[in-house]
Structure 1
C-alpha cells in the first residue's frame, strides 16, 4: 500500500465522531492574550477571590473523612439543600432521590442529557448564537444539530423555531439567561413556546440555566416555574457560575423521575460520582450564602463596566443577565469580528470573544463579548484601553 493510500486508509478507519471540531475560540483568544500580555476579558471566569466563608469552610473540612466516593447521584445533604433552594426560589418541590443529579459541571450535565435521549437520526434544535458544547454533544449521540438563529436583538424568533421543527425533532436546547448575549426570556416568550410545543409532545426541552442567579433588569423565569413544560424539561445549572468557583466543576440536573431515571444510567458510566470535597464544601456553604447578593455584585460590575466605556466608540448592547457584555464595533472597523478581536489583543491589549463563532454559519454583525466577572481594577484598566480606540 502506497504511503498516501495508507494515510487515507487510516483516516477513514479511525475517524472520530467530531472530525470537524477545532480548537476552542476561548483557548485561542486566551493563548493570544498571554502572548501579548493583554487584559483577558475573553473567557468566562472570575479573577477575584472566592468568598472568605467558603475558603474557611474548605480549610476546616479538608482533613475530615470526606475524600471517598459520594453516592452516584450526589451528596445527600447537597441534594437536599438544592431542593430547598429550588422550592424557595421557584416554588417547585423536587424529590432528591428521583429528580436530581449532581454532575461534573453543567457541561457534563448537558452531555449526559443529550446522549441519554438523542438517538441516531434524531434532530436537536439549537438557538444561535449558542454555547459551543451543544452541537458536539448532539453529534456524539448520532443526532443532527439544527441551528436556528435568534433575532438581531438576540430575542427568540418563534417563526424560525416552529418552522425548524420536524417529525425527527427530539429536543430543543434553550439557554436562559443567554450566553453569549446576556439576554433573558420574558413571560411572553415562554407562553409562545408553550403554544408551539403543545403541538409537539415528542419534544424534550433541555434548559441550560447556569446563570440563573445572575440577572439584572428583570427576574429570571425558570422552567421550574412552567407547569405546562416542567414534565418534559431537563434543567441544568452550575455552582461554578453561581458561586464563582468554575474550577470546581460542580453542577446539577433537575428533571422529572421518568427522565432522571434514564440519565442516571449514562451518568454512572461517564463519571459515576462527582468530586467529594467540593460537594461537601458547597453543601455547608449553602447554609450561609445569599444568591441575591451574587446578582447585586455582578450588577454593580456590569454597571461599572458600562459606565466606563459608554463614551467609547463601542456600542453597548442590552445585558439582562450573565456576566457578559456584548458590544458592536461598527464605528471602529469593517473587519470581520475574529480578525478585529485578534487586532484588539495585539494592538490594544484587551481580549474578547467574537460572536460569530457561536453561529453555525458564522453570522458576523461586528459584535464582541467581554466578560466583566473581573476585579474593578481589571475592568478600569481594560476600559482605559478601549476608550483610546
Structure 2
C-alpha cells in the first residue's frame, strides 16, 4: 500500500469563504448558524441554518452560471482553492491517473425545488432547460472533471451524512493501491431550499431555536440538545501519492492512513453502537494502528438525542477505559450539518487542527448529560503538543458508517513507522 498525502485544501461553508477562514472560526468558536431569510421564518418551525456566502457572479460567467445549481457552484469554488493550495498546475497532472470523488446527500436540491414549484405550485408546463443537468447528483463531480480535464474516474457517492467521508476514503483506496496518483475528493451540499427544510422538519430531527441566541441552537453532547441544524457548503481535498508529492515539493497538510466502513442493520434512521464501533475498528485495522495510538476524535456529533448517546457508547466500546482520556470534538456546533459534505469539511478542520496542535471546541455544551460523559473539549479550543493522529467519524441515515484515520504532517510516529522523507 502506498502512502497518501493531503496536499490541497479548499472550503466554502458557514464558517468562511476559504479553508483558513473556516478553521479560524472553528478554533475561535464563532458560529456560522443564523436565522434564515425572513420569507422563510414564518413558514418554518426551525428557521435557522448554516449559510455559506457565495455570489455566483463573482466566480462564474453568466452562461456557465445558468447551468450550475448551488451545489455545483460550491464544489467548483472549493476545488479551485484546493488546487491552488496544492500548487498544482494542470500541465503537471497526468489526467488519466487523476480522479474526482465527490459526496452529496441531496444533489441539486434548489433546482429540483424550483422545478416542482413551477410545475405544481404555479401550474406551469415548463421547467428550466437545464433542470436535469443542474439537479443530477453527479453534476458537482462532472463539473470538476471538466474544469481540469481529468479523465480518471469521476465518481459520486450518496450515503446521506457519510457521503464525503466515503468519497475521501474511496479516493484514498484507489491511490494507495496504485490505481491513481492524484484525486480531488470531498463533498458539496446545498439543502437550504424550502422543500428540503420542510422535509427535514417532518422527520423531527431539527434543533429548536435557542431563543436567547439562535447561533447556539446546535448543542452536541449537551443535555439540553434538541437536534441538528442544516447547513450548506463544500470542502475538497487534493489527495496525492506520497512520492509524487515529494517529487514536486508539494505542501503536505497531513496524511490519510486508514478508512473503515460498516453498516447498521437495525433501522433506517436509528444509529447503532455496533455499527459505529465496527467502522472505527475497521479504520484502525486499515491504518494498522492500536486504539492507544489515537490522540483525538472528530465526532459525528449532530446534536440529536439519539446520535450523541450512541456515539459516546461506541467510542467506549472501541477504546474501553481509555475513552475518557481522548479529546472529542464536534464542530457541527458552529458550522451545522452539511449532510453529505460534513465529513470532508470536518476532515479538513482536523488536518488544520493537527497542523496548529489545537483541539477544536464543541461549543454550546453548558449542561452536562450523564449519558455523554467523555471529554468533548467544551466551549473553548485547547492546545495539545501530542495531537498527531485522529479519527474522523461520519454516520448516516441508511446506516452507512464511515471513519477516516488522519495523521499530522511531520508526526514523529510516522518517522518511526515509515522510511519515506517528510515534507512540511
Q: Is TM-score (shorter-chain normalized) higher than 0.5?
A: no
Structure with max Cα Rg: 1
